[in-house]
Each structure stands twice: as structure tokens, then as C-alpha cells.
């Protein structure tokens, strides 16, 4: 082992402890059963990288690269927040009213319940028909929006990740 490597130990130990502190809450809360946690870990890593490149980058386009990484962080924020259902149904609920759920005994099966969804602004059969039609049209929208963000994130990273460092 060279003397120059030994002289680096105090600095490496300080940096290692700093990284442990930065990562501790993320690792502590990590679970292995859901893609959600992969998004959390990736978001944290990209956020730290974006901050490093933005404030300490020394290559010509370091601010542009930090902005590209920030874009990925923002997409990950949307994925982690997971408000796709709320966003897809916001106008529907504004138009028809917030849904109210009512469970009644099923007339077809003895040990089952029937779910009835009521909306304040559904007053006629025509309203009910239109609301149901709109509801069915929107049912797949949240998953489509989430898939669109996942595709955008990974396509963008695939295109740019190797250029973020000098």
C-alpha cells in the first residue's frame, strides 16, 4: 500500500460517514416488495447527483446536465406521489360530485354485498348513463398516465445518463 493511499483514509472515512448519514433514512425505510421503493432509492441518488453536479460540476455543460437530472427527479416525484387517479378523475368529480359509496346486502348472493356509487349531480337516468360512460372511459387513464411517466423517465435516462459526467 502506498503512502498516498494511507493519507486519503481520513478523508474517505469522513465521506463514508457523510454518505451513511445521507442514505440512512432511505435504507431504513426501504422494503423489497414494491417498485415504489426503487423509485425512492433512484430519486435520492439522482437528487444527490444533481446537487453535486449543479454546485460542484466543472465540465462545460454541468448546469444543463443538472437540469436534465432534475427533470428525472421531478418525474420520480410524480411517480412517488402517485396521484394519477385523482388527476384523471378531477374533472369527472367536479362535474358529477364526489362519489359516495354505499354497501347493501346482495339480492343475488347471500354472503355478499352490493356496492352502489352515488354522485350528488346525477339526478336522472340520462345523467347516470352519461356518468357511467365517462367513468368507464376514465378507468384506464391513471395507469396510462403512470406508464407514460415511467416510459418518459427511463427513455430520458437511457438517452442522457452517460453524458452527465465529464
Partners of residue 114 on adjacent β-strands: 104
Q: What is the pLDDT of residues 17-29, one digit of tens each?
A: 999 999 999 999 9
Whole-number Å distance between alpha carbons of 82 and 72: 15
Strands (E), 10-163: 99-105, 113-119
Same domain (yes/no): 25, 85: no
Same domain (yes/no): 20, 43: no
Domain encompassing residue 83: 31-163
Same domain (yes/no): 48, 107: yes
Reply yes or no on whether the pLDDT at 40 is more than 70.
yes
On whether the pTM is more than 0.85, the answer is no
Whole-number Å distance between alpha carbons of 34 and 42: 13
DSSP single-letter state for residue 30: -
Count of domains forming the chain: 2
Reply yes or no on whether the pLDDT at 166 is more than 70.
no
Whole-number Å distance between alpha carbons of 117 and 9: 65
Same domain (yes/no): 49, 90: yes
Pick the closest to residue 146 from 57, 85, 58, 73 (CA basis). 85
Same domain (yes/no): 87, 11: no
Amino acid at each position: 500500500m502506498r503512502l498516498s493511499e494511507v493519507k486519503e483514509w481520513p478523508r474517505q472515512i469522513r465521506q463514508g460517514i457523510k454518505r451513511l448519514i445521507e442514505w440512512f433514512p432511505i435504507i431504513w425505510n426501504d422494503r423489497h416488495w414494491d417498485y415504489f421503493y426503487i423509485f425512492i432509492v433512484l430519486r435520492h441518488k439522482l437528487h444527490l447527483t444533481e446537487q453535486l453536479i449543479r454546485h460542484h460540476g466543472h465540465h462545460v455543460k454541468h448546469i444543463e446536465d443538472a437540469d436534465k437530472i432534475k427533470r428525472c427527479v421531478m418525474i420520480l416525484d410524480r411517480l412517488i406521489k402517485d396521484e394519477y387517479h385523482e388527476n384523471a378523475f378531477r374533472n369527472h368529480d367536479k362535474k358529477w360530485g364526489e362519489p359516495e359509496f354505499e354497501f347493501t346486502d346482495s339480492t343475488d348472493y347471500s354472503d355478499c354485498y352490493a356496492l352502489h356509487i352515488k354522485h350528488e349531480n346525477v339526478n336522472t337516468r340520462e345523467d347516470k348513463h352519461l356518468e357511467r360512460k365517462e367513468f368507464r372511459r376514465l378507468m384506464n387513464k391513471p395507469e396510462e398516465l403512470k406508464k407514460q411517466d415511467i416510459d418518459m423517465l427511463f427513455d430520458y435516462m437511457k438517452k442522457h445518463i452517460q453524458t452527465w459526467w465529464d
